[in-house]
Amino acid sequence: MRQQELSATLKAYPVWDAVTRWFHWINVLCVLGLLAVGVVILNASTLGVSGDGKLALKTVHVWIGYVFAVNLLWRIVWGFIGNRYARWSAALPAGRGYGRDLVAYLRGVKAGEPPAYRGHNPLGRIMVGALLLLLVNQCVTGLVLAGTDLYFPPFGYWFLDWVGVAGATAEQLAGLKPAQTELLNAEAYAAMRDFRKPFIQLHELGFYALLFAIPLHIAGVVVTELRERNGLVSAMFSGDKVFTGEPRD
């Protein structure tokens, strides 16, 4: 009887639109793939991966990265034109009244009665902001490294033009593999390799930061789901959350 009464008081609210849900799961698959291949690349010597094998792994890493980058770019755009809860004004830790809402939410958590939110709660918005920064960092630095290491788009042509010897045609340079240096200007090539060093460092730092942030994000979702029981996990499949009262937002 108690269960029937509780079910009768629950009300479903649409929250996450289809674009947001598709982005989330495509992003999950891409990040997992990139992390897995990245771990192998970082430990290629220990694992006994050959030079050609490492080149193949980097190529796979870049192609997954392209899907990741396009998906992320579309989500950034959608943050300005999507529904109310997909917009950055509702997802990032900023805006009028955010500080007040965060304090109220933390007080509610401490009291065991956190305010209900259809979209991201104030604490979750901090995680969204952190993850977005890390993902953008990986996207930008990854595209630069793809251009300097494999001469892949969108920056590869520019880097080849930088390091190619005088008189080398675009067709000749386009066929170069990373290990080939006969058509490269040694001084320009060295300068390019110096240019890429901070991007490598940022990419690797972002990699390790994601290894920390992703489990933290999952833990936060699980704890919130168990504490608030509003369908936080299922909403990323169905688009709907359920509440017994009126959500704050």
pLDDT digits (tens, 9 = 90+) for 26-59: 999 999 999 999 999 999 989 888 888 998 999 9
Cβ 58 vs Cβ 152: under 8 Å: no
Q: With a cut of 60, say whether residue 2 has pLDDT above it.
A: no
Phi, psi of 164, deg, nearest 5? -70, 150
Q: What is the pLDDT of residue 8?
A: 52
Dist. CA 183–CA 169, nearest whole Å = 10
SS3 (DSSP) at 172: helix
Dist. CA 26–CA 20, nearest whole Å = 10
SS3 (DSSP) at 12: strand
Burial environment of residue 69 by CB neighbours within 10 A (0 to 12, 13 to 18, 19 or more): buried
Domain ranges of the chain: 11-242
- List, as own/partner pairs, every contact residues 101-109 make where C-beta atoms lie below 8 angstroms and the sequence separation is at least 24, other chains included: 101/248
With cut-offs at 50, 70 and 90, classify the pLDDT of residue 4.
very low
Average pLDDT of every residue of the chain: 89
Distances 101 to 1, 105, 155, 171 between C-alpha atoms, Å: 36, 6, 43, 58
- List pLDDT tens digits, range 134-170: 999 999 999 999 999 888 999 988 998 888 777 666 6
3-state DSSP helix/strand/coil % of the chain, to nearest 5: 70, 5, 25
pTM (2 decimals)? 0.89
**Would you say the C-alpha torsion 137, 143, 147, 150 has a positive or negative sign?**
positive
Q: With a cut of 70, say whether residue 113 has pLDDT above it.
A: yes
Dist. CA 68–CA 137, nearest whole Å = 12
> Which residue's entry shows tokens 């870049």?
62
- List, as own/partner pairs, every contact residues 34-43 make where C-beta atoms lie below 8 angstroms and the sequence separation is at least 24, other chains included: 34/61, 34/64, 34/65, 34/68, 34/138, 35/207, 35/210, 35/211, 37/61, 37/64, 38/207, 42/204
Cβ 38 vs Cβ 11: under 8 Å: no
Q: With a cut of 90, say whether residue 230 has pLDDT above it.
A: no
Q: What is the pLDDT of residue 207?
A: 95
Tell me the mean pLDDT in the region 181-205. 91
Among candidates 27, 127, 24, which has minimal Cα distance to 69?
27
Fold observed for domain 11-242: Fumarate Reductase Cytochrome B subunit (1.20.950)
